[in-house]
Each structure stands twice: as C-alpha cells, then as structure tokens.
Structure 1
Amino acid sequence: MSLSLYDVTLPVFTRMLANLLVFLDKAEADAAARKYSTEALADARLAPDMIPFRGQVMIATDHVKGCVSRLAGQPVPSWPDEEKTFDELRARVQKALDLLVTITPEAMQGSETREVTLKTRTGEVTLSGLDYVNQRAMPNFYFHVTTAYDILRHNGVPLGKSDFIG
C-alpha cells in the first residue's frame, strides 16, 4: 500500500497543531503561576533578529494552510497576521485545524505530481507536490513549531519532549 500526500501531511499537521495548543495552555498556566503576562511570551524571541513567538505560530499555520490548499488545488486562504494575544493565537491554530477537516483524500489525489508554484523573494519556484512537501512545507512547518517550543522553553515554560511529540 502506498501512502498519499494526504496521509503524510494531514495527520502530522493535525497532531502538531494540537500540540501547539498544549504549548499555549501550558505557557498560560505558567504565566499565571509565576505572575507574569503572556504578552511577554507572545513577543519573546531567542535572538534580537528573530521573529517572536506569535510570529512563529502565525507562520506555522501559514505553512499548513498553504500546503494543504495547494495540494488540494484550492486557493490558499488569506489570513491577516494580526494576532497579539494567546487567545488570538489559539483561535488561529484552531482555524488551521478547522481547515484541515475540510480537506479530503480525494481532493489531494495525484498531488504528488501536481505542480506547485511559490513566489519567493528571488522569483517564482515550481516544484512537484512531493518535492514541495519534502523540501518546503514540512521543513518550514517543523522549524516554526520547534522555534515556538524553544522560545517558551527558554522562558521557563515547563514543556518537555512529550509535549512536542504529543
């Protein structure tokens, strides 16, 4: 039995976005226990030139919506990047989870060879669906989820590997 791109993307995105909700819950509980504002965490970063935590969450969800929409041959939804609070970030993650539920295996059938064209800073890049998933979508998604996790850990939120893995 061969796996489709639906099989290798949707379950991963769903699980990791659910784990991201756990990160937010644990960070909020830690902020309440240690009496600091989650606003400080939303704006936290590991280095001065990095995107803050809230941006990592936004970009992770952007990769989810972009990936599944492109592979399903659907327009990529446009979501403004305005989230500043944990509640707004939670809602954005939930919006991505809600989008995943609408994507069917049939919509993604044959997406391994479907051409995906991305606009980059240096121009357009066209990849097969399989190359897009392996070279762009999944690595970027994991990078931003991992960075979000790392920012919270760096700030003392009691997260562990089991929170990341789920």
Structure 2
Amino acid sequence: MPLTLHAAFVPSALQMLGTASHLLDKTEGWCATRECDHSAILGAQLIDDMLPFTYQIKSVAEHTAGAIAAVRKGVATPDLNPPPSTFDALREKLDGAKEAMKALDEEEMEDWIGRDMRFEFKETRLAFTAEDFLLSFAQPNFYFHCSAAYAIARHFGVEIGKMDYMGRVRARQG
C-alpha cells in the first residue's frame, strides 16, 4: 500500500508537537529549580537576528495545525501576531495544534493531493500542490523551529539531550 499524505505528515507533526511540549516542560522545570526570570529564557535568542524561544515554539504549532488550516483555505500566510508570552500560553497553543492534528481524517487529506496551494508573504508568492506545501515547506519548518527551540534551551543550560529532541519515535513493538 502506498504511503498516504496523512501518514507522511501527521505522525511527524505530532512527534514534533510532543517534543516542543516536552521542551517547554523541561525548560519551565529548569527555571523553577533556579528561580530564574521566565521572561529571560522565553525571550532568548541564539543570535540577535533570530527570533526568540517563544516564536520558535509558536512556529511548531503554526507549521503543523496552521499548515493544515492553510491547505483548507488554499493559501498560507505567516501568522504575524506576537507569540504567547508564558509557558502556559505556549502549552495551550501546542495543545490546540495537537488536537487539530489528531482530528485529521486520512480520506480528507488524500482528497487534497494535487490541489493548488500557495504561500504568500509580502512580495513572495510560491505555488504548490497541497502535498508539496505540507512535505517540502511546512514539515521542514516545524523541524527547524523545534530544533531552534531545543538549541536555545540547551544554550541556556537546560539539561536536555538528543532523545529529548527526538521525542516519541515510532519504533515497532515486539
């Protein structure tokens, strides 16, 4: 049986949403043991021209559930609203994205294959099929933003490692 669009996108999206939630929990716990200012790490950047931890976490949700909403509309535009500014608000954003991903119907996603889709931002217009948008644009983006959040937390000294980033892998049981 060929791989479905649902199978190619949704499990990986859920894995990285789980990773982002885990990173939030570990980072918040790290702050609690050090009585640090939450806003310091939530607003942290790896370098001045890179967006902060909060934006990286928000973007994992935007490139998973937000990408699905965009496919349904036929056009994707970046969410330029400020990211949530607390651990709890970021967690809510991720939880909403997880629920949206879990609710996806495989048949609905298969019907999207070949559908026209475009990305628009300022002067940029990129034409895609729905499957190419999800697999060549949204998916690399949610991996990138999850790794950026991991790198920021790790840079601050949060005790995390590769398995914290990998999250729940889909290993065979037995």
After TM superposition, the score normalised by the length of structure 2 is: 0.86
Cα distance per residue 1:32-63 (max 9 Å; x no partner) = 11221222111000001110000111122111
Matches within 5 A, 1:14-163: 14-71=14-71, 73=72, 80-163=81-164
Contact 2:45 2:53 in 1 (8 A): yes
What stretches of structure 2 of length at least 5 have no aligned partner?
A: 168-174
Deviation per residue, 1:113-149 (Å, 9 max, x gap): 1211111332321111232123211111111110001
Identity of aligned residues (%): 30
How far apart are residue 65 of structure 1 and its match?
2.0
- Whether the aligned pair in 2 keeps the contact of 1:60 and 1:141 (CA below 8 Å) is yes
The letter for the 1-side match of 2:69 is: S
Residue 81 (structure 1) shift = 3.5
Residue 112 of structure 1 and its aligned partner are, at CA, apart by: 2.9
Which sections of structure 1, spanning at least 5 residues, go unmatched?
none
C-alpha separation between the residues in 2 aligned to 1:125 and 1:31?
Answer: 41
Runs of 4+ in structure 1 off by over 3 angstroms are 78-82
Q: Once the 2 structures are TM-superposed, how far is the Cα of residue 3 of structure 1 from its aligned partner? A: 0.9
Contact persistence 1:27–1:38 (CA under 8 A)? no
Change (3 A) 1:79 1:11: farther
Aligned to 2:171: none
Deviations 1:1-20 (A, max 9, x none): 11111111111111111111
- Where 2:107 maps in the other structure, the secondary structure is coil
Is the contact between residue 119 and residue 126 of structure 2 (CA under 8 Å) also seen in structure 1? yes
- Distance in 1 separating the partners of 2:22 and 2:124: 37
Letter in 2 for 1:33: T
Contact 2:54 2:83 in 1 (8 A): no
